[in-house]
Amino acid sequence: MRRCAAFFVAFLLLACAPKTVLSPSYDFSQINRIGIMAFSNSWADLNGVENLFAKYLIRSGFKVVERAQLESVLREHNISVSGYLSPDTTREIGRILGVDVLLIGEVSSYTPARTELALTSSRRTESQPIMRQDVMRMPDGTYVGYQRPVGTQVSNSVDVRPTEYTINAKVSLIAKLVDVETAEIVWIGSDSQESSRALDAADYMARQLVKSFTKELSKREKQK
C-alpha cells in the first residue's frame, strides 16, 4: 500500500504531489470565467466535492460560476450535460453563461475509513523479594521469629489485549478544464489522498490541484 509523509496532523492527511498536465498550445490568458460542473461521484460521503474547487479557484483570482447556478441555467434552456460533452453543447453553455472553460471531474475511487481490532502484546517484568524465616535471640533470652530477605524472584509475563485502530479513508480525484469553444481538454489533474474524513482528503486535493494549475500558469508566463 502506497503511503506518503504525514502533512496535516489534525486531519491525518498523507500528502503526495498531484499529477497535472497543461495543454502546450492553449492560450490560458483568455480564461476569465470558469463554470463548474457536478463531479461524477457514486458516494454520498463526497457529495459536493466540486464546490471545494470553486473555493480555491476563487481564492486564486478566477471568476467562478458555481455548480448550482450553472445547472439551474442549463435546466431552463433544456441542455443536457450527461455523458460526453460535444463542442456544440460546450459552446452553448459558454454562450449562455459567459464562461470560457468548464471544470468537470470525477471521484475515481473511494475507500471509506474503518476501524479494526488487532491483538497487541506487551512484556511485563515483576520482581518480588525472597524471604526466609529466621529466629533472633532477645537480650532477655527469649527467641523471636522474623523474616529476612535472601534474594529476589523475577517473573516475566506477556499481556495480550485487543486494540482498536483506524484505517484512513482513501480518495482519488480527476479534474479537467474543457474549452467551451472546442471541447478540448486544456488541463487535467489527478491526485489521491488519505484522511480520517473523506471530505478533508478531497479538500486538500482540490487545494493542491488548483495550486499546481496556477503554478504552471505562472511558470509559463515567465517563460514568455
CA end-to-end span of the chain:
42
How many whole angstroms separate alpha carbon 183 and alpha carbon 102? Answer: 9
Segment 105-120 shows an average pLDDT of 89
Integer CA distances (angstroms), 199 to 48, 168, 212, 216, in order? 9, 12, 20, 25
Question: Is the predicted pLDDT of residue 90 greater than 50, yes or no?
Answer: yes
What is the pLDDT, as a whole number, of residue 211? 94
Contacts of residue 59, Cβ cutoff 8 Å, sequence gap at least 6: 210
Domain with CATH 3.40.50.10610 in the chain: 19-110+168-223
Question: Is the predicted pLDDT of residue 82 greater than 70, yes or no?
Answer: no
Integer CA distances (angstroms), 74 to 35, 77, 90, 92, 174, in order? 12, 5, 11, 10, 23
Q: Are the CB atoms for 196 and 168 separated by under 8 Å?
A: yes
Q: Are the CB atoms for 88 and 113 separated by under 8 Å?
A: no
Within a 10 A sphere around the Cβ of 149, how many other Cβ atoms?
9
Name the band, by pLDDT with cuts 50, 70 and 90, for residue 81: low
3-class SS of residue 29: helix
Name the band, by pLDDT with cuts 50, 70 and 90, for residue 80: low
What is the pLDDT, as a whole number, of residue 54? 93
What is the pLDDT, as a whole number, of residue 11? 35
Within a 10 A sphere around the Cβ of 161, how many other Cβ atoms?
9
Site of grid cell 463526497:
46
Q: Are the CB atoms for 162 and 132 separated by under 8 Å?
A: no
How many whole angstroms separate alpha carbon 146 and alpha carbon 166? Answer: 56
Name the residue with higher pLDDT: 211 or 143: 211
Q: Are the CB atoms for 36 and 67 separated by under 8 Å?
A: yes
Name the band, by pLDDT with cuts 50, 70 and 90, for residue 84: low
Question: Is the predicted pLDDT of residue 87 greater than 80, yes or no?
Answer: yes
Architecture of domain 19-110+168-223: 3-Layer(aba) Sandwich (3.40)
What is the pLDDT, as a whole number, of residue 15? 44
Q: pTM for the complete prediction?
A: 0.71
Q: Judging by beta carbons within 10 Å of its beta carbon (0-12, 13-18, 19+), is residue 81 exposed, middle or buried?
A: middle
